[in-house]
């Protein structure tokens, strides 16, 4: 039943620097998760996207939220009833260690 969803999530996780991906429904419940991501963050991710949407209520284009933390990034986008959350992690550069 959720084969298509699984396929999309697998494609997202294979992208460069991506470590985990998750999709949530309008109730903030996890529809599917792939990779290194906790399914429990679906509700909080959706809550963040809802709060951000209030900043520009007249904007029809869904906002993309990017949270930076060290070498990790969390990208959240709400589109209609579905909210996508992607975790990205950039490899630490060895140049800074050698300098």
Q: Any contact of residue 42 with other proteins (CB under 8 A)? A: yes
Q: Any contact of residue 27 with other proteins (CB under 8 A)? A: yes
Q: Any contact of residue 67 with other proteins (CB under 8 A)? A: no
Whole-number minimum distance, CB 25 to other proteins, in Å?
8
Looking at 9-17, 35-43, 57-65, 68-76, which segment touches other proteins (CB under 8 A)?
A: 35-43
Q: How far apart are CA 66 and CA 2, in angstroms?
A: 27
Q: Would you say 17 and 49 are in contact if contact means Cβ atoms under 8 Å apart? A: no
């Amino acid at each position: 039943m959720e084969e298509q969803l699984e396929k999309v999530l697998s494609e997202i996780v294979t992208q460069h620097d991506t470590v985990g991906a998750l999709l949530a429904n309008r109730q903030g419940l996890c529809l599917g998760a792939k990779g290194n991501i906790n399914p429990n963050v679906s509700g909080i991710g959706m809550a963040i996207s809802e709060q951000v949407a209030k900043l520009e209520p007249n904007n029809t284009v869904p906002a993309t939220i990017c949270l930076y933390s060290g070498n990790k990034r969390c990208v959240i986008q709400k589109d209609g009833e579905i909210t996508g959350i992607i975790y990205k992690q950039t490899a630490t550069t060895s140049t800074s260690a050698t300098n």
